[in-house]
Amino acid sequence: MKEIIFIIITFSALGIFTLPKRSQYYQMLVTQIFLIVVTGYLMYLSFNRIGPLQIYLFELIGNDVSLVIDSLSAFFIFVINITILTGALYSKGYLKPYLRDKTRLEMAWHYFNFLLLHISMLMVVMLREGISFLVFWELMSVAAFFLIIFESDKQENKDAGIKFLIQMHVAFYFIITAFIICSIATGQNIGFDSLEQYFKTYPSFPVFLLFFIGFGIKAGFIPLHTWLIHAHPAAPSHISGIMSGVIIKMGIYGIVRVLTYIHSDLMPIGVFILIISIISGIFGVAIAIVQHDYKKLLAYHSIENIGIIGIGIGIGVMGLAINNPVLASLGFAGGLLHVLNHALFKSLLFYTAGSIYQQTHTRNIENLGGLMKKMPATAVLFLLGAAAISGLPPFNGFISEFLIYTGLFKSLMVSDSILSVTLLAGIVALAVIGGLAVFCFTKIFSIIFLGTVRSDKTRHSHEVRSSMLFPKFIIGILIIAIGVMPFLMLRPMAFVAGVIVDDTSSLRDMAGTMSGISLSLSLLIVFIGILLLIKLKLSKVRHTDIGPTWGCAYTGSDPALHQYSATSYAEYIIMKARLLVGVKKHFRYLTKEKIFPSETYFKTESSDVFDDNLISRPVGGLLSFMEKIAVFQTGNIQHYLLYAIVFVIVITIISIFGII
Amino acid sequence: MIIKELKILRQHGIQYVPDLKTAVLTPLFRGRPVIKEDPTDQETEKIKKLCPSNAITTEDGFGIDIGKCVFCKECALAYPDKIAFTNDYKIASNDKNNLIVRKGDSEIKFNENIVRPEVRKLFKNALKLRQVSAGGDNSCEFELYAAGNVNFDMGRYGIEFVASPRHADGIVITGPITENMSEALQICWDASPGPKVLILVGTDAISGGMFADSHAVNRKFLEKYPVDLYVPGNPAHPLTFINGVLRLIGK
Amino acid sequence: MKLFLETYNNSDSVNLADIPVLSYKYFANMLRSYFVDSDNHCLSYYAFRKDDKLKFICAIAKDSDGKIYLSSHELKAGITALDSLTPEFPQLHIFEREIAENFGITFEGHPWAKPVRYSENRADKIKVMNNYPFYEMMSDQLHEVGVGPIHAGVIEPGHFRFICNGEKVLHLEIHLGYQHRGIENLMLQNDNPIKLCVLSESTGGDTAVGNALAHSQLMESLADFEAPEDLQIERCIALELERIAIHIGDTAALCTDVGYQLGQVVCEALRTTIINTTQFWCGNRFGKGLVRPFGTNYPLNDRTVEEIKKILNDSGKRYFDMAERIYSLPSVLGRFDEIGIVTTEQAYRIGAVGMAARTCSIPRDIRSTHPFQYFKNHRPQVVIQEKGDVLARGMLRYLEAKESVKYIFELLSKWEYTEKSNLKPDYNYKLKPDRFSASIVEAWRGELCHFAVTDEKGNIMHYKISDPSMHNWFALALAVRDQEISDFPICNKSFDLSYCGYDL
């Protein structure tokens, strides 16, 4: 049975290369649906049993390689599948304009890598054995790399892809180092199973730190996030959505999986995760506010949300440390539910961003405006995603943050003072992050969709075709469903959290609160619906005139030019958080002496302080150092022979004198 | 501290005029003119030459058109036995013909028959107005602003000036409507939802006043829309305006 | 060669031919030598057509000796370009722009060559209100806010264009012209002098007494008439009453803008009492009809004097109590202090006059430097403030009102002992031919200038009105630089400049 499935998948994947351009997509889609069905079945099987589902695959260098699926893996399978499915459905419409210019091979390669990404991610969450895990982890990065540089005619995309690949390899080395340490120390095979033994006998923090760095680069914690901010804007939008939706969650999966084996040193680990997550959250959202490129903005938001997930996981670990099952289960449940929620609304946001890009060909929000009238469905879906990411009820972001808040508040009472301060910091941080997220999304939604056009770029925009809208609707329905009926998620999340936490009864106790929330939210929605109906009925009866916006009766220019700009809206944050967000203004203020101003310009630029100091400067320094050394590379054979002779002489002298 | 404020408030006392319809202005106030005796033809010629704004009409007998009169009182000062200016401030009317004062007229009449029914139906208890200064010399604007102050308080009748024409039930024009302002006035009119009233305040608005013949003035706007109320004066006293509007809305 | 003709304010007219006509080069050098000294400032600089040439007249006021210096140059037909003096003396910018607009002269090197009011007799009809060339900064990250012409309150129309970064204003440009009615052309109707009186009052209805006085003074000067003392005293009292009424009204407006309700209603009520006194005196709340050339229809009598004294005692004291309270409240001071600062340097360079100058330590007050009417015999105290912010402008109004109340009482006591002339206005006056006269009045905003030239028949050939707002609008643009845009209404109200006086 397994062999048949394996053969079907392999031939199906390779078969993409043989088909004409139009059919390649359907081949990929069918294969993916097949994968989803298979893994869905496995997921279903794993939920209704005690202990994980084990399926033996094959033998590798003397180790058994099996699929081990527990509730955590099953949960991630669900997240992966739903995001890849919607991404695939969306990509049909998004890639259509590219079909003309790309060759058959290029498109096939793209679809093939898409499929490969799907397969490798599924395998990553289902495998425990070390070598196969690492192989598929690498395959995932490589597949993602090829997907990112889809538009490789632009140099900046290739640079972003290379940065991604290099950082993924750095992450890989950290992970493999950690695995090797565990394996050698315990004498077992490389793999997650050796962790169990290792963490029982040795201090947990150092190796955990290695794992955290490795998986954290993938997840995008600060200061390990610098690949994210370049890769997301460079990739085509359906890939950006999937990247933010699931690829970075693989890092989270890794961290949580490692945590399932740790039973000592929990407090320092928990506090460490909490602090890094708080920094990621606040820093991520603050920089997002000053961005003008909406894809970069959404990328920074992913960092912020990883921070929120991290806060949930951090406090979960702290809960385990002090044996507080309420804190532990609510923290983990909240954090992991946020994984699903973020996958949903972030992919929705990236897909809508892709629709905007397809229509306007610009990523600079200062050039957009008034798209609400031209692309109403996209606008509403974007608004839905924006409200969800800001954690507003009745959407799903609210539910996961609510779980984390509940855990924090419930534990605040029963903790000692130092722990209380930490928990309070968590609450405050979460609140600040939520507030700043609303600030950021009001800015981006209003500048892009509301008002009127700011430049010619939006003149020819119209609503996108329904094949692109359909997957977004699916996501929207799920967002609202989780938001309005949160009690549906309680039992599944209890199972998932049960992998780490023994006593998840507090989650079941939340059922009452959740039902209360869902009741009030449903009433709210019904009330709004009634008001809308009344308004529609009344406006049909009254006479309506349409005229230009009142602009104080100025007849000279287009009132559209007198709209708020994104920089102006963000100016408040820029002023208060100048050091944090690293915004530089290029402007000569008009002095008191200058009565009549002459020509001047105004420009702001923001830079990422970590990107500058950790990556750009050292790399720049290294490159300039290399350029100095490059004088040796003269291209002249005689010189190289000279180097060889010199080397031999030096080695001889050294050996004679016994230095080595 | 509060004590100082209380002292100021006590000195301030009660400022609002209790009944705006029966207030009496100072004796020299130049309100409604009366024609005691018709001037002779010779005198009429001299008065016509004297009048700076062509307010003297001789069709159907001698008359002073207070829609054109700038209330300089020079005619009354030159011929005090024929013409006098009383301090009657109720000189607003909705019919331009009623603005011509002839011998024997004892008040400026308001024509109930030509009031549009929707004005009475909709605006009796609340009338929000948008004021447009289309070349006014700032005295009418001051007086209109004063109509809402603590003394005259037209807000007690629900009459108010609003900032946006979208919220307005009517447009109040002051000034002769300059060429440079004509397009803006049209935009403002179009921006306010119907049904709406049009009120002209001040001599400049009603007839162009001293600027009727200026090339910088473009009064074509007034040819398009019916005017609901004329409030003469140079400037129109707040009591004239308020009483005129109250008559219009039927209070 | 004489470079200029000296004359005094409110004195005899001069022969037009006596004003020296220089070539532009000498004219420019003369102006340079004068404006270098900050004691001199330009009253007005304008042009008019005489025969087939364009005659330019410049009137400079010297504060230390109280003289007015007149000079002129003539431009032959066909020459349409001159070197601009604005780069060296920014105070001339508005006048050169006005000449350029009316006659199509190009001032080369003018840094701010833009239309002034889009007058109906402008030279280039292609330039219309809709394509005013606003200053722009190169950026797609700034936003512009355009307010007007129709503003939220019951005020005159004008367009303000802000270039903003967030809430901070980087630059403000003011575009007026909506109130242009063509007054200067209408003043050339020589058939009925009453028309001219009413027209001058309509130039600025809130400065009716000031404008009527400037006009009457001008006509009297061109007819070689000197007003008797009691008439002079009455005119000064009317001017000061107007000043007090407006200052109280402005204080109310400032309180409205910061939300200090008590200040607003008390000052509003007090203003009503003052203008009702003016109404008691002459029948019009703004004093229209009170001031006429060669006499008055409303001489002061004991009853009116009693009324004035009563109201000033009562309302004056209440206003001073209220103003003391307003300017000691921390919440109000927090909105006024250090907002909208115009430095002394800036005020000198743009040629600010009147209140805008006096709040920046510049002692420009025509009642003191070039006195007219009874101010010649009895000069009032000039009130100066130093900081140039909104608080200074508010305090200036309070202190000037105080000074004016005191001054009116002094004038009233002088009036009692003066012989009453009982002169009625004379509308059959004849003006001397080929004359030029300047009549400057310190209206409540600042120095208001009326100039007239008569032809060989004694008819008015050209009439020029220069409102103090011509100089001062630019001060508002400078005051708002680097301020928050929400402080703009306060700055605008604190200047309270005239739109219709500027637009004519």
List CB contacts (< 8 A) between B139 and chain C: 205-206, 208, 286, 288
Tell me if A372 is assigned to some domain: yes
Nearest to C297 among B71, B77, B136 (CB): B77
CB atoms within 10 A of CB A272: 17
Find chains touching chain C: ≥3 CB pairs under 8 Å. A, B
In chain C, whose CA is at the least distance from the CA of B15?
C269
Q: If residue A569 lies in a helix (H) or strand (E), which one and from where to where?
A: helix A566-576
> What pLDDT was estimated at residue B86?
92
In chain A, whose CA is at the least distance from the CA of B163?
A552
Nearest to C148 among A554, A559, A598 (CB): A554
List CB contacts (< 8 A) between A553 and chain B: 183-185, 187-188, 191
CB atoms within 10 A of CB A250: 22
In chain A, whose CA is at the least distance from the CA of B195?
A543
Percent of chain B with pLDDT over 70: 100
Task: Find the radius of gyration of the CA atoms of chain B.
Answer: 19
What are the Cα distances from residue A210, in Å, to A183, A203, B20? 14, 13, 86
B165-220 tens-digit pLDDT: 999 999 999 999 999 899 999 999 999 988 999 999 999 999 998 898 888 899 99
Residue A377 and residue A451 in one domain = yes
Interstrand relation of B159-161 and B127-133 (parallel, antiparallel or unpaired): parallel
Residue A456 touches chain C, beta carbons under 8 Å: no
Which strands sit side by side in the sheet containing B56-57, from one edge to the other?
Answer: B56-57, B63-65, B100-102
Q: Token digits for A361?
A: 């060909």
List the alpha helices (DSSP H) in chain B.
2-12, 41-50, 74-78, 117-123, 139-146, 179-191, 203-207, 221-224, 238-249
Is it the case that residue C1 has pLDDT exceeding 80? no
Say if residues A549 and C125 touch (Cβ distance below 8 Å): no
Q: Which domain holds residue B240?
A: 112-249
Nearest alpha carbon to residue A227 among A303, A163, A295: A163
Is it the case that residue C88 has pLDDT exceeding 70? yes
Is it the case that residue C338 has pLDDT exceeding 80? yes
> What pLDDT was estimated at residue A445?
92
Please state, in angstroms and rounded to a whole number, the distance separating the CA atoms of residues C132 and C363: 35
Percent of chain C with pLDDT over 90: 53
Residue B204 touches chain C, beta carbons under 8 Å: yes
Please state, in angstroms and rounded to a whole number, the distance separating the CA atoms of residues A510 and A497: 14
Please state, in angstroms and rounded to a whole number, the distance separating the CA atoms of residues C43 and C430: 27
Nearest to A545 among B164, B184, B193 (CB): B193
The domains of chain C, with CATH numbers, are 5-134 (3.30.460.80), 183-503 (1.10.645.10)
Residue B232 touches chain C, beta carbons under 8 Å: no
What are the Cα distances from residue C15, in Å, to C209, C222, C370, C432, C462? 28, 10, 20, 9, 14
Residue A302 and residue A424 in one domain = yes
**What number is the ipTM of this complex?**
0.92
Nearest to A555 among B165, B184, B190 (CB): B184
Please state, in angstroms and rounded to a whole number, the distance separating the CA atoms of residues B176 and B174: 7
B34-76 tens-digit pLDDT: 998 888 888 889 999 889 998 998 888 889 999 999 999 999 9
Q: Contact B185/A553, CB-based, under 8 Å? A: yes
Percent of chain C with pLDDT over 70: 100
Core vs surface per residue C328-354: b (16+ CB within 10 A) or e = ebeebeebbeebbbbbbebbbbbbbbb
> What pLDDT was estimated at residue C96?
92
Selected for mutation to probe chain B from C179, C185, C192, C200 (highest B CB count within 10 Å) is C179
Residue A510 and residue A610 in one domain = no
List CB contacts (< 8 A) between A547 and chain B: 190-191
Phi-psi region of A171 (alpha: psi -120 to 50; beta: other; left: phi over 0): alpha
Is it the case that residue C51 has pLDDT exceeding 90? no
Phi-psi region of C113 (alpha: psi -120 to 50; beta: other; left: phi over 0): beta
HEC readout, C331-368: HHHHHHCCCCCCCHHHHHHHCCCHHHHHCCCCCCCHHH
Say if residues C493 and C480 touch (Cβ distance below 8 Å): no
Q: Contact C262/B8, CB-based, under 8 Å? A: yes
Core vs surface per residue B198-209: b (16+ CB within 10 A) or e = bbbbbbbbbbbb
Selected for mutation to probe chain B from C119, C147, C179, C181 (highest B CB count within 10 Å) is C181
Average pLDDT over residues C102-127: 88
Residue A310 and residue A430 in one domain = yes
Given a cut of 70, the residues of chain A with pLDDT beneath it are 48, 60-62, 557-561, 579, 592, 660
Tell me if B165 is assigned to some domain: yes
What are the Cα distances from residue A597, in Å, to B7, B47, C134, C172, C258? 50, 56, 12, 11, 31
Provide the number of structural domains found in chain A: 2
- The per-residue pLDDT of chain B, averaged, comes to 91
Q: Contact C279/B25, CB-based, under 8 Å? A: yes
Q: Token digits for A608?
A: 């990422």
Residue A524 and residue A622 in one domain = no
Residue A607 and residue A526 in one domain = no
Instruction: Find the length of chain B.
Output: 251
Long-range CB pairs of C15-18 (<8 Å, 24+ gap) are: C15/C434, C15/C435, C15/C436, C16/C434, C16/C435, C16/C436, C16/C453, C16/C454, C17/C434
List CB contacts (< 8 A) between B191 and chain A: 547, 550, 553
List CB contacts (< 8 A) between C139 and chain A: 601-603
Percent of chain B with pLDDT over 90: 59
Q: Token digits for A312?
A: 């949930």
Residue C170 touches chain A, beta carbons under 8 Å: yes
Tell me if B80 is assigned to some domain: no
Average pLDDT over residues C289-317: 92
Tell me if A450 is assigned to some domain: yes
> What pLDDT was estimated at residue A616?
81
Q: Contact C321/B29, CB-based, under 8 Å? A: no
CATH of the domain at B202: 3.40.50.12280
Nearest to C181 among B50, B74, B135 (CB): B135
Give A482 or C480, the one with higher predicted confidence: C480
> What pLDDT was estimated at residue A592?
66
Tell me if B231 is assigned to some domain: yes
Nearest alpha carbon to residue A439 among A552, A604, A288, A660: A288
Residue A612 and residue A515 in one domain = no
* Packing angle, helices C261-282 and C229-258, rounded to 10: 160
> What pLDDT was estimated at residue C269?
93
Domain boundary among A534, A563, A592: A534
Q: Contact A575/C144, CB-based, under 8 Å? A: no
Please state, in angstroms and rounded to a whole number, the distance separating the CA atoms of residues A469 and A384: 13
Tell me if A300 is assigned to some domain: yes
> What pLDDT was estimated at residue A291?
85
Q: Which residue has the tokens 């995008």?
A: A220
Residue A587 and residue A512 in one domain = no
What are the Cα distances from residue A270, in Å, to A405, A422, A503, B144? 16, 11, 18, 69
Tell me if B164 is assigned to some domain: yes
Q: Which domain holds residue A635?
A: 582-656
Nearest to A555 among B165, B187, B190 (CB): B187
Provide the number of structural domains found in chain B: 1
In chain B, whose CA is at the least distance from the CA of A544?
B193
CA atoms B83, B88, B89, B95: torsion sign: negative
- The per-residue pLDDT of chain C, averaged, comes to 90
* pLDDT tier for residue C497 given thresholds of 50, 70 and 90: very high
List the alpha helices (DSSP H) in A56-154.
71-99, 104-126, 130-148
Residue A540 touches chain C, beta carbons under 8 Å: no
Instruction: Find the length of chain A.
Output: 660
Q: Contact B193/A553, CB-based, under 8 Å? A: no
For residue C116, give the amino acid letter.
V
CA atoms C349, C352, C353, C358: torsion sign: negative
Residue A299 and residue A401 in one domain = yes
C196-214 tens-digit pLDDT: 999 999 998 899 999 999 9
Q: Which residue has the tokens 């359907």?
A: A26
Residue A522 touches chain C, beta carbons under 8 Å: no
